[in-house]
Chain A
């Protein structure tokens, strides 16, 4: 069989068999509803509470500060929409960055267009970095919420979340009030970056099960005690009535196990993948002219390689790679069905033709050095073939 190389770990990861094992009983014999008032329900509730406690310990927070959701998108939506709506008496100004995931950006745009909020979208520098100073300068008397992602899903840039959080908490002390609060989407950071929430100084944080070799359809929102959110859905009293609906117990247990497993190998995996990431970047640089590494060279997730190949269109390359059993993506999986170029690459100040030629390779547990060799061997003739078909010649100022 031909080698298969999955380099789309930022889109989703393969469920770890050890996670599946933990989940299976709760998909069969342990089927009780955790809200039921009988032993079958109690047993399931106990298991769920125990998972919640373990997750809380791993994040250095209290169990009642963890809210289970259906994934990263819901957590982001709930944090942004829920906080803005519940706290609009304090002000209607929000701050975010132009390179957030659409789950944050679209929520912001909705509040701006339909609910009378004002939003400041911070523009990153050419490497995709947002500075603490930029955030602090954008603050207004009526700013109630700041949302800056921990690590970018397309270009892997790591933001100074702890510094931003620290600066905001000083600002609040100075102003003697509880807002603006700070939310971060940490979906891509899981398994690589420090998730100690005490050190990050964040008030809300989004995590997603499927990015950490856990199940899809499960996520969590950390919300600091005292934070008020307006629910997005209504019904029972589960998750303190902020997120009603019978809990996905198997998913919750799976996510807790998954986070435990990735945290346990975080340091080694970070070191291992950094070497492979740089091997891929350097190898492409060496073999293929006219490319640009999108995102910061070092403030970058150890598993992310995002490169614009000039003069050609990314989707065509994805299909050629697919035929060679290499699975990569253009931008984020959420936007690959749309024809618009990546909003992240455009926000770096790149023109459309550069954004259209961007390809994201995201490494993970399964990635080996031989995989990278195979990609480096396969890629150059494909790029050459597509460039030969193209009438476009991108200005060299964008890749030198």
Chain B
């Protein structure tokens, strides 16, 4: 686990103390016997097949649209548990974020509060970011505010290899930070070099977005 070092390089454990605290004492997880009806927005992302699945339940105050409660369950590793626990605290603390504020929450913000995560675990904090946005859309759907929903549509970048912007995003998140590495993962542009400038631009964009 050579990539797993804490920020101060002194901590011999694989994760920071804050990560440990949230991992061993997770905050706001959805209790076994909780009543789903208490919540007015639900989000879901991932599947156990990829090694993690995350579900979130939110109670949003209808007039102020602030998040009063944020509960979750995850099938995931230590990092997934810790980052979801931290995200649940961040969106509901100090009276709660508004949905628009919550939508602006970035994986880096969660990482920052956790005191860092190993790079190969970065994916985990992206998951809760996505589940949160799924739940935000769900709230707007349930309250008929369809204009406020943001659906993330995929755009085909390479019609030959059928590679989308989403595939490139995932590759960058997986640690492929150069065109060559992204090509190894996705085969983008190998039979269709004309799309390469667009690919390079996307790699720069996602690198900036997640690691910038």
Contacts and interface: CB of A to CB of B under 8 A. Distances in A.
A320 B123 CA distance: 21
B132 to A, nearest CB: 15
B85 to A, nearest CB: 9
Which 9 A-B residue pairs are closest in the complex by CB-CB distance?
A353-B48, A391-B73, A392-B75, A315-B77, A352-B49, A391-B55, A390-B75, A319-B78, A392-B48
Given A316-B81, A388-B29, A389-B26, A353 B49 contact: yes
15 contacts: A311-B75, A313-B52, A315-B77, A319-B14, A319-B23, A323-B24, A336-B1, A337-B1, A337-B120, A339-B77, A352-B50, A389-B26, A390-B74, A391-B53, A391-B74
Contacts of B2: 337
B49 A392 contact: no
Interface in B50-85: 50-55, 73-78, 80-81
Given A316-B78, A319-B78, A389-B81, A351 B73 contact: no
Contacts of A313: 51-52, 75-77, 80
Contacts of B77: 313, 315-316, 339
A353 B78 contact: no
Contacts of B73: 389-391
B31 interface: yes
Interface of A is mostly: loop
Contacts of A319: 14, 23, 78
A390 B53 CA distance: 8
B106 to A, nearest CB: 22
A312 B2 CA distance: 25
Given A323-B24, A389-B29, A391-B74, A356 B51 contact: yes
A356 B78 contact: no
B76 A316 contact: yes
Contacts of A209: none
A389 B23 contact: no
A315 B14 CA distance: 12
B48 A352 contact: yes
A353 B75 contact: yes
Contacts of B48: 351-353, 356, 392, 394
A295 interface: no
Contacts of B55: 391
A312 B48 CA distance: 9
B32 interface: yes
A315 B74 contact: no
Among B32, B48, B77, B80, max chain A CB count under 10 A is at B48
A214 interface: no
Given A313-B52, A339-B77, 12 more contacts: A313-B75, A313-B76, A316-B76, A337-B3, A352-B51, A353-B75, A389-B29, A389-B81, A391-B53, A391-B74, A392-B53, A392-B75
Interface in B1-27: 1-3, 14, 23-24, 26
Nearest to B174: A339
A156 interface: no
B47 to A, nearest CB: 8
Most central of A323, A337, A390, A394 by chain B CB within 10 Å? A390
A79 B2 CA distance: 29
Interface string B132-172: 00000000000000000000000000000000000000000
B75 A391 contact: yes
Nearest to B32: A388
Contacts of A389: 26, 29, 73-74, 81
Interface in A348-369: 351-353, 356
Contacts of A390: 73-75
B11 to A, nearest CB: 14
Contacts of A336: 1
A116 to B, nearest CB: 21
A352 B3 CA distance: 25
B185 to A, nearest CB: 14
Nearest to A341: B51
A339 B120 contact: yes
A315 B48 CA distance: 14
B24 A315 contact: no
A313 B23 CA distance: 13
Nearest to B55: A391
A390 to B, nearest CB: 5
A337 B80 CA distance: 15
A382 to B, nearest CB: 10
A2 to B, nearest CB: 16
Nearest to B50: A352
A325 to B, nearest CB: 13
Contacts of A351: 48-49
A261 B95 CA distance: 66
A319 B80 CA distance: 13
Contacts of A323: 24
B177 to A, nearest CB: 17
B28 to A, nearest CB: 11
A391 to B, nearest CB: 4
B32 to A, nearest CB: 6
A320 B78 CA distance: 9
Interface in A328-342: 336-337, 339, 341
Contacts of A353: 48-49, 75
A192 B196 CA distance: 56
